[in-house]
Amino acid sequence: MVSQAFNERKSPGPEILGFLWPAPKPLAPFELVSTKDETFSIDSLKGHWTFMFFGYTSCPDVCPTALTKLTGVVKNLRSKGADDDVQVVFVSVDPVRDTIARMQQYVGYFDKSFVGATAALEQLDVLTRQLGILHERTAPDDSGSYLVDHTASVMLIDPSARLVGVFSAPLEVESITSRFQSMRAFLEKQI
């Protein structure tokens, strides 16, 4: 009986682009500082479906585009009454320039419910390595300005703090919304 239940729980599942089933990845503890002036840790993920994006506030194109798309996803979910346990977290990989105050203003521009978080690079790497997020600061130009190359995918973390999905470019509101709802419906039946 037990092995049958285990096999049913680890069934192949639906074919959904970006869905990490049957191998969701549990996250290990990490600690960042959030725009809500509190610690953002693995406990901040529990009980929420979290769309997490890594970037920086000086990003010229990828970050504002991704956050605009996530704003659309949240609006779609709100219109369906399906957003009560959803959060969007923008994690800055440029802690030198991205102060909490700067990030608060930045994420608030997209949606007041969005959370920003960052930490020293050593602390950030505890989380980015788990999720396979790459980030590297480019050499500064003559004015001291620099870019940060970074992964442009949105990570989906379930209420048990497991990475369960990856939404890669091109990010499209309707596609992310429908794939998320399919992933969520399937995973909620597994509990």
State pLDDT tens for residues 36-69: 878 999 999 999 999 999 999 999 999 999 999 9
Q: Is residue 8 part of a domain?
A: no
For 63, the domain range is 30-190
Residue 186 lies in a domain: yes
If one counts the domains in the chain, the total is 1
Token pair, residue 178, equals 């429908």
Is residue 12 one of the residues assigned to a domain? no
21, part of any domain: no
Instruction: Provide the CA 116 distance to its chain's centre, in angstroms.
Output: 11
pLDDT confidence of residue 35 = 93
Q: What value does the mean pLDDT take over residues 21-45?
A: 94
| pLDDT tens figures, 153-164 | 999 999 999 999
Assess if residue 14 is contained within a domain: no
* Whether 165 contacts 18, CB under 8 Å: yes
**Whether the Cβ atoms of residue 67 and residue 53 lie closer than 8 Å to each other:** yes
Helix (H) or strand (E) holding 174: helix 173-190
pLDDT in the model for residue 167: 97
120-132 as b/e: b if 16+ CB within 10 A: eeeebeebbeebe
Report if residue 56 sits inside a domain: yes
Q: Is residue 5 part of a domain?
A: no
CA distance 125 to 189: 33
User: Is residue 13 in some structural domain?
Assistant: no
Instruction: Give the whole-angstrom CA distance, residue 98 versus residue 116.
Output: 10
pLDDT in tens, 164-179: 999 999 999 999 999 9
The CATH number of residue 74's host domain is 3.40.30.10
- State yes or no: pLDDT of 2 exceeds 50: no
112-135 mean pLDDT:
95
What pLDDT score does 141 carry? 86
The helix or strand, by DSSP H or E, that contains position 127, with its residue range, turns out to be helix 121-131
**Residue 138 contacts residue 122 (beta carbons within 8 Å):** no
